[in-house]
Structures are given as structure tokens and as C-alpha cells.
Amino acid sequence: SPERSDSSGFSIPPTAHPLSHPPRQPYKPQADTGRSLSVSAPQKQARTTARLYIPTLQPPIAAANIAKITHHEARTSLLGGQPLDHNYAPYPTTTYPPPYQPQPFDTQPGGYHHREGFPTTLPPVVRRPPRMYIPNTRWTWAFMLTAICQVGIALALESYVFSKFQNEIHFAAEGAGANETRTIPTFLAVFMFGYIYQLFLTWDALRMKNTIQVIGLVLYNIGILVYAAIQFDQIKDAADDLNTRRFIPKDFWEDVKPMLIALPVLMAVATVIFAFEAWKLYDEFAWTIYKRISADTRLKRRYLTYQIYIALLKFDFFFFLAFTVQFLVVVKNTKTVELILTAAALVITFFLLFLAAWWVRRESVAGMIGIIVVYFIALGYFLFKLIRMWVADANRQEDYKPARKSLTAFAILTILLLIITIVTACLCTHNFNKGLKPHVNDKIVQSDKTYNTEMPSLSGPAPSQRMEID
């Protein structure tokens, strides 16, 4: 529509509505409150000039009724212009907890705990290594359980034979000087101790991750198998002699014979199982040895020599003990001086074996030279005993007769172990001060499965993790 004016004479543009603005005073142009705008009308009508009010940054006229705020204490109410009441109660203050700091092993907010209203932040789980080693892989458990089953069955069979003998032997046999009354209990005691000691060696080999000791346990089981076969013959001879002298019933041997036959069979089956599990453990422990020793071939050979030496010391302990106990208990007519020296040598030998392990870890040249001299003395002692059992006079050979076979077997095994121990001790002494000491004195790796972050190679064939022992 064309431009028109209201009753006050104020020009309204064609696009404005009369009700869109409240009534106001006639417009008086001011330089500081606005500026003029000329609007051209159509050529049919006269040209007029319409002045529009353009607001500026100054406050509007309606703001004149609002009290001016000079400072924060002179404020008035926006509704009634009344001063504020300063006697108000302050808002309660709330102490907020410190901001959440993520901790390891915390349960993060959200998920099941958040939906169910449970606490979503838990204290960190402290993982402490176990005080005693516990197998943590399939093949370590298999090796340990095989040893436990073998020991349990063998101890049950040996205990039955021992209790049968103690219940049926005549009380007059000991007074009559029958040496066979001590032969059978001694054989059984040595055999049972050998099984218990084997169980300890099994646990120790798994704890130390000693591949050489695991292989040595297979050979140890073969030695126990040989002793079980010899024990069968020795107990049969002792039972026949006691039966001839009416110190034991005739049916004693028939009762214990199945048990003594089952022992070698048990040893043979367990040896086969041990050999297979040792092969699996060899692959499993190779990575641990690689991480400890690195890829240095010469250093790995030195560490291998050290492991062989430590394993030999542990096996020497049993064979020294078994031979000496049988000699002290079974062989009769032994002079008092010889008995005292043998018993003292047994105690000293055990003490020296512990020192041998300590000296090789500390790389003490003087200590290793001293222990090698002791090995040569022990080698001469066992050679003397072995020759004396078969070359001595007829009376002395009769004293060795109840335990001659078992003593011969233990003497031969001990001599072989001593020769290997002497050679290995010399090699270990030669390897001193060549970088092996830090590796043999560090802490044992219990289990690195939880914190293992090794990533396999994505290109090319996987490198071999096997530690060659040849």
C-alpha cells in the first residue's frame, strides 16, 4: 500500500502495521539518537520523505524509570524498586570429593555396575608372587602330577612290604644275629627316601626352570628302575635265608612278590611318560633361558655348564647317602673307627655339597679348587669300597653279601657321577669372570605370563626359541 501517516503525523512505511508500535510523541530528529532515511514513492504519488527511527547503543526511553546501580550494595529489586534484604540465610555449602584419578585395575564407570547401582570404582588388585612355587602351565602340571602319582603308588607298595615284614618276622631273629633282619628294612627305607627326594627334585627343577635337571630326572628314574630290579633279588635272598632258619613264614615271599614285581613295571611306565613330558618342557623352558641369557652363544654354553654342575650336585647327594646308609646298617663286622669315619664323612660331604653350589655362584676360584680336591678323595674312597667288596678275603666278602649287589650298583653310579662332576667343576672354574655371574645370581622368574607383552613378528618365519644344548 502507499505510504501513510498516523494521527500524530508520524510517517509509517508501507510494510509496517499500525499496532506494531505503541503511541509515542511526534518525532524530532536528533543527531545522537538516529538518522534520516529517504524513501522514494511511485511516480504516480508525490514524493515524500519518511523518517525512520534506527536505535543506537543508548538505552531506550523506558529505561529512565529504572534506578541506576552505583555499586553492589545499592541494588534495587527489578520488580518493585525496593532494596534487597541483606538478612538472608546463606546457601548451604557442599564439600565435593577430589576429581577422579584413574588407577590400574579399577572398574571403570558404566556397564553392569553402573546400571545396578554398585560402586564403580574398586581398589587396585595387588598381585603378590606366591611364597611357594606352583606349576602354572599344562606341561609343568603334567610333570608334577606324574611324579606325585609315581611316588604315591610306590610308597604304598613299599609300605605294604615293610609292614608285612615287621609283622611276620620272629622276635628271636634279631637276637640270633641274623643280618637279613636289617637288610630288608634298609632296602625299603632307601627306596622310599629315593622317591620322596625325587619329588623334591621335580618341584625344584620346575621352580628353577632347569632343563638339564628335568632331563636328569628321567635318568634318575632309570636308576631307580635298576635299583627296583636289584631290590627284588635282594629281598628274595633275604626271605629265603630267614625262611630256612624258621624266622619268617613260608608264605611271606608269596605275599610280597606281586608288589615287588609291580615296582619295576611302574618305574618303566613312569620313565616313558617322564621322557615325553621332559621333551615338552624343554621347548617351554627354552624361551625363559633365552630371555635370561640373551642370544650370546658362548654365554649360553657357560650357563648350560653351570646348570649341569648344579644338577649333578643334587643327584650326588642321594647316591652318597644311599651308599653310606647301606654300608653302615647292612654290612656287619665293621670296625668302630671305620664306622665313625664313615658317618663323619657323610656329614662333611653334605656340608661340602652346599659349599660347592655357593662357591660356583660366587665364582670363588680357591673354593672350587678345594672342592675338586674333595671330589678326588671321594672318588678314591668309592673305588676302594668297590674293589674291597669283591677282592677282599672270604670272611670280609661274607660280611658284604647281604647288600653286595645294591652296594655295587650304587658305587658304580656314584663313581660315574663323581667323574662327570669333576670335569664339570673344572669347566665352571674356567668360565669364571666371563659375564655369567649376574645371570646365576638373579631372582628366579616365577611366572611372566601375566605381564607378557611380546608381539610376534608379522613378516617372515618365526625365529626359533629353542636353546640348543649340544
Structural domains of the chain sorted by starting position, each given as residue range(s) with its CATH number in brackets? 132-293 (1.20.140), 316-441 (no CATH)
Whole-angstrom CA distances from 376 to 381, 388, 416, 421, 442 are 9, 18, 12, 10, 31
DSSP track, 335-390: -HHHHHHHHHHHHHHHHHHHHHHHHHHHT-HHHHHHHHHHHHHHHHHHHHHHHHHH
pLDDT for 391? 80
Cell representation of residue 261: 614285581
SS3 state of residue 242? helix
pLDDT for 155? 93
Cell representation of residue 120: 564403580
pLDDT for 213? 92
pLDDT for 102? 57
Q: What are the respective helix, strand and coil percentages of the chain, to the nearest 5? A: 60, 0, 40
Name the stretches of the chain with pLDDT < 50.
1, 3, 8, 10, 16, 18, 32-54, 57, 62-64, 74-80, 444-470
Cell representation of residue 286: 627354552
pLDDT for 397? 72
Amino acid at 216: G
Provide the whole-model pTM: 0.64
Cell representation of residue 248: 619268617
- Tell which residue, 238, 273, 280, has the closest CA to residue 256: 238
- Tell which residue, 365, 368, 376, 322, has the closest CA to residue 346: 322
Query: Checking DSSP bridges between strand 11-12 and strand 4-5, what pairing results, if any?
Result: antiparallel
Phi, psi of 206 (to 5 degrees): -70, -35
pLDDT for 295? 59
pLDDT for 463? 45
349: Cα separation from own chain's centroid: 33
User: CA-CA-CA-CA torsion for 16, 22, 24, 30, nearest 10 degrees?
Assistant: -60
Q: Judging by beta carbons within 10 Å of its beta carbon (0-12, 13-18, 19+), is residue 372 exposed, middle or buried?
A: middle
